[in-house]
């Protein structure tokens, strides 16, 4: 089973070119729409198995992902590890564990994302897990576009695809300077 490449993502129609506002607020000329790649269950399952294999030694007892982006890949990692899967979601802007999900104190938790850009939302999930008594033992994502090998060091972190795509602050974005309208990926205009 080979690692996912940018060509694989492009072949799946998951690589968008344009002028995008990322959830981090940064702008970029490219966007990976992981949901499109994961739309094929066999691809999602294979991606989950690869991430799980890399972090099996952390002996996670639970996988937690942020909704919506992390849900499909997180569930597939949990399936591969044969452990339960919970998701966090925003309530009044703050990341929270709802739905009656309960983490037993000391549970070893793997946090799984689709894309890590700044790592901000991942850290919010890690904080939620810790507040509920869980112990984060590792982080995984389909895509790492943070520009760092491991933004969560000293915790182990792995990604199937590392992307060196430049991200721009809006005030120094060359596409903004050229007057090209920025779109939010996933919106009708980006699709």
Site of interaction with Zn ion (CB under 5 A): 27, 173, 175-176, 182
As measured in angstroms, the least distance from the Cβ of 181 to Zn ion is: 9
Axis crossing angle, helix 41-55 with helix 71-81, rounded to the nearest 10: 60
Q: Is 131 helix (H, G, I), strand (E, B) or coil?
A: helix
Q: Which is nearer to Zn ion, 163 or 173 (CB)?
A: 173
Rounded to whole angstroms, how far apart are CA atoms 76 and 46?
A: 8
Q: Which is nearer to Zn ion, 7 or 171 (CB)?
A: 171
Q: Which is nearer to Zn ion, 95 or 182 (CB)?
A: 182
Angle at CA 32, nearest 5°, toward 82 and 115?
45
DSSP β-bridge partners for residue 135 = 108
- Shortest distance (Å) from residue 184 CB to Zn ion: 12
CB proximity list for 107: less than 8 A, separation 6 or greater: 61, 62, 133, 134, 135
Name which of 21 and 132 has its Cβ closer to Zn ion. 21
CB of 60: closest distance to Zn ion in angstroms? 38
What's the min distance (Å) between Cβ of 170 and Zn ion? 6
Token look-up 């695809």 returns 161
Minimum distance of Zn ion from residue 111's CB (angstroms): 29
CA–chain centroid gap for 24, Å, is 12
Q: What is the DSSP letter of 106?
A: T
Rank residues 27 and 145 by Cβ distance to Zn ion and give the closer one: 27
Give the nearest residue (CB) to Zn ion. 173
Burial of 173 (0-12, 13-18, 19+ CB in 10 A): buried
């Amino acid at each position: 089973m080979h690692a996912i490449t940018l060509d694989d993502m492009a072949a799946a129609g998951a690589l968008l070119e344009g002028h995008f506002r990322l959830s981090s607020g940064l702008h970029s000329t490219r966007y990976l729409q992981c949901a499109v790649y994961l739309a094929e269950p066999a691809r999602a399952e294979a991606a989950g198995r690869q991430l799980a294999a890399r972090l099996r030694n952390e002996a996670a007892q639970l996988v937690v992902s942020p909704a919506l982006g992390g849900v499909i890949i997180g569930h597939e990692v949990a399936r591969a590890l044969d452990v339960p899967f919970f998701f966090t979601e925003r309530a009044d802007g703050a990341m929270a564990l709802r739905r009656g999900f309960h983490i037993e104190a000391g549970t070893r938790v793997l946090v799984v994302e689709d894309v890590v850009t700044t790592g901000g939302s991942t850290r919010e999930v890690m904080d939620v897990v810790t507040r509920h008594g869980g112990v984060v033992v590792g982080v995984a994502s389909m895509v790492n576009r943070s520009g760092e090998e491991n933004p969560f060091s000293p915790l182990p972190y792995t990604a199937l695809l590392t992307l060196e795509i430049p991200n721009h602050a809006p005030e120094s974005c060359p596409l903004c300077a050229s007057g090209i309208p920025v779109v939010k990926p996933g919106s009708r205009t980006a699709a």
